[in-house]
Structure 1
Amino acid sequence: MAYATGAVLIAALAAGCTGGTGSGGSDPDGKPGTPTVSAAPPGKYLTLPDACRAIPRATLKDLLPGTADMPEARQDKVFEGTATVTYDTDRRIGCRWKSDVPEGTRSIHLDFERVVSYDTAVSDDDRAREVYAKKETAADLPDTALPPETPDASDDASPSGSGGPDASTDPGTDGSESADGTEGADGKGATGDDKGAGDTTAGSPADSLQPRLLDKLGDSAFLDDTLSRAGAPARHRTVSVVFRTSNVIVTVEYTAQPAMPSEVPDSKELQEKAQALARQLVDSFND
């Protein structure tokens, strides 16, 4: 009889423990009121578009001069593009187009990268900001890429036309190019034969075409402009526009190589077309 009483007591204690853990009234760690840390939100984009279908045919015709005069079968081949090799098309996808005509070669490389953070404390957008920032740093943009500072009172101290210390400075000879108008040591920017191509912003034509940050293009954006070294068998220029929209980073590379080695690709034209394409892509992401 005593044995039965002990068994009943043990069963009652076991039942009490089971009932306590299944009530849902406390946290698993046994500390009621402990706040739960939620995971960082995912990015806006969960998939990527087909890069080889991202640029309309009419836009490709404009970016690849001479294709409109090609036989239809050859046009179709050029406009079809060639997908770049990737191992996860949900994370990265790209495409290349190229046209060879008597006047020269034009090519486009489009790259989409969807950034995913594997750290629950870091959102996809924050991780994408880090990846974009590294690309911007690697581009090594000149100091002119920074927004101009607001003049302070000391800048207005000297009267207009008074011939201060900088009055004799020749505009355009700020060290970005040599006195004879050749390209800078890094081969970047609109220099040499490209000078005087026109100006679309404040400042000299060369300054307006320098590699720089871009406003109102996605969440962040920059433009790079690289010209091959003088003396190369064929001179080519590549304009790159890189922008971030939420957790996706898009890179547009637009390259021109004239048939004649003495010709220098026009920086202004390439930059305008590359930026127009980038704006078109941003709008397609927002649709």
Structure 2
Amino acid sequence: MQRKAYVPGLAVLLATLVGGCTAGSGGDGSAADTKPGEAAGSAAAPGKYRTLYEPCGAVDRATLRSLLPGAAELPEEQQAQVYRGTAAVTYDTDRRVGCSWKADAAHASHHLRIDVERVVSYDPAVSDDDRAQEVYARKQDAAQLPAPANPRDDTVQESTPPSGTPTATSPTSTASPTGTTPPVGAPSGTTTPAGLEPRELGGLGDAAFLDDVLTRAGSTAQHRTVSVVFRTSNVIVTVEYIAQPARTTEVPDSKELQEKAQALAQKLAERFND
């Protein structure tokens, strides 16, 4: 009889030990991002993405040829080295990865950089998506995007003044030709054609913006940096594309750089849907 009384107590003890060892661990490895003090059902929802893709292999060769035209002038071995890219040094490739490419040519040099960050919130009351939105907002604020210049008001512009009302005379514009005068409110150093000013973008991830900065250092040639930043769930991606002509009198084409940077950003965003 003593033996039968002992067995149930042992079963309870074993169940307690097993439950204590397995609590908080999951078969999918999600424990690494567990928020401090997190309890089942009490924390904000985790982000959609738990890993990141390898960025140096995320850009196909045809796209790199378009973005780095100078590479085509190099010997085949050097071309392969350029297209291979250089991975950014990170300490957790599930949290942040990056890659850069550069090609110099007689007429111009081009530099491409990709940065991919998976945001994790360690506050049980704040979801990973919300934290990523905060990080993205800080990046957009730092870019100091100009307010849309001269917003169109069809009602005012197309209305006909009452009979007898003097017609206002518009002042003659003395602004320089398009592409030589920064838009109103643009940060110092930016010079972009009308309609291509730094701005928010639609149809790219959950939120996106584009920045365009033209700079000159001393007597060197001007170089233009176009950055496209977008957020998809708890991941933030930055595409930075730089062009610098060899001649100091040449200005990198804003439209071309923006189109190529946006096209690459769209391809990278689509990878998250695969």
Q: TM-score, normalised by structure 1?
A: 0.72
**Partner in structure 2 of residue 141 of structure 1:** 145
Residue 105, structure 1, aligned to residue 92, structure 2: no
CA distance in 2 between partners of 1:40 and 1:274 (Å): 34
1:70 is displaced (CA, Å) by 2.3
Q: Please, which runs of 5 or more residues in structure 2 have no aligned partner?
A: 1-15, 17-39
**What is the CA-CA distance between 1:282 and the residue it aligns to?**
0.8
- Do 1:145 and 1:213's aligned partners in 2 also have CA atoms closer than 8 Å? no
- Which of 241, 244, 247 matches 1:257? 244
State the distance in 2 between where 1:164 and 1:78 align: 62
User: How do 1:258-277 and structure 2 match up within 5 A?
Assistant: 258-277=245-264
**Offset from partner CA, 1:45-74 (integer Å, 9 cap, x none):** 100111111111110011000322322211
Tell me if the contact between 2:52 and 2:95 (Cα under 8 Å) persists in the aligned partners.
yes
Tell me the amino acid that sits aligned with residue 116 of structure 1: V
| 1:87 alignment counterpart | 91
Q: Quote the Cα distance in structure 2 between the aligned partners of 1:251 and 1:220.
A: 12
- Give the direction of change, closer, same or farther, for the CA distance of 1:40–1:261 in structure 2 (3 Å limit): same
The counterpart of 1:96, out of the listed 85, 90, 100, is 100
Deviation (angstroms), 1:89? 1.4
The residue number in structure 2 matching 1:63 is: 67
Q: What is the SS of the residue equivalent to 2:194? A: helix
CA distance in structure 2 between the aligned counterparts of 1:81 and 1:96, rounded to whole angstroms: 6
Q: Is the 8 A contact 1:158 1:164 kept in 2?
A: no
Q: Give the conservation status (yes or no) of the 8 Å contact 1:223–1:240.
A: yes
Task: Compute the displacement of 1:232 (Å).
Answer: 3.5
Structure 1 residue 234: Cα displacement: 1.9
SS in 1 for 2:272: helix
Match of 2:229 in 1: 242
SS of corresponding position for 1:207: coil
Query: In 2, distance between residues paired with 1:158 and 1:188?
Result: 38
Aligned identity (percent) is 57
Q: Do 1:222 and 1:242's aligned partners in 2 also have CA atoms closer than 8 Å?
A: yes
2-structure distance, mates of 1:132, 1:259: 34
Q: Distance in 1 between matches of 2:76 and 2:86?
A: 18
Residue 189 of structure 1 contacts residue 209 of structure 1 at CA under 8 Å; is this kept in 2? Answer: no
Please tell me whether residue 132 in structure 1 is matched to residue 132 in structure 2: no
Does 2:28 align with 1:41? no
The residue aligned with 2:36 is none
Alignment check: 8 A CA contact 1:84 1:94 kept: yes
User: 1:246-287 deviations in whole A, cap 9, x for unaligned?
Assistant: 000000000001111111111111001001111111111111
Pair 1:274–1:166, CA change in 2 (3 A): farther
Q: Map residues 10-25 of structure 1 onto 2, 5 A cutoff.
A: none
1:187 corresponds to which of 167, 186, 189 = 189
Q: Tell me which stretches of 4 or more aligned residues in structure 1 moved more than 6 Å.
A: 177-180
CA contact (8 A) 2:73 2:105 kept: no
**Residue 70 and residue 127 in structure 1: after superposition, are their counterparts in 2 closer, same or farther (change >3 A)?**
same
Q: In the alignment, is residue 213 of structure 1 matched against residue 217 of structure 2?
A: no
Higher Rg of the two aligned structures: 1
Task: Compute the RMSD of aligned alpha carbons.
Answer: 2.9
Code of the aligned partner of 1:188: T
Q: Secondary structure at the match of 1:276?
A: helix
Task: Give the deviation of 1:154 after TM superposition.
Answer: 5.3
Question: Tell me, what secondary structure is at the counterpart of 2:135?
Answer: helix
Question: What's the TM-score, normalizing by structure 2?
Answer: 0.76
- 2:178–2:194 contact (8 Å) kept in structure 1: no
Provide closer, same or farther for how the CA distance between residues 93 and 179 of structure 1 changes in structure 2, counting only shifts above 3 A. Answer: closer
Would you say the 8 A contact 1:43–1:125 is kept in 2? yes
**Structure 1 residues 121, 180: closer, same or farther in 2, change over 3 A?**
closer
Query: C-alpha separation between the residues in 1 aligned to 2:119 and 2:178?
Result: 44
Q: Which residue type is aligned with residue 94 of structure 1? A: G
**Alpha-carbon distance in 1 for matches of 2:235, 2:169:** 45
Q: Deviations over 1:140-189 (max 9, x none)?
A: 0001189x57x4855554449x985473353x94xxx7999455771114
Instruction: Give the distance between the partners of 1:186 and 1:88, measured in 2 at CA.
Output: 36
Aligned length: 231
Distance 1:169 1:92, change over 3 A: farther
Output the amino acid matched with 1:229: R
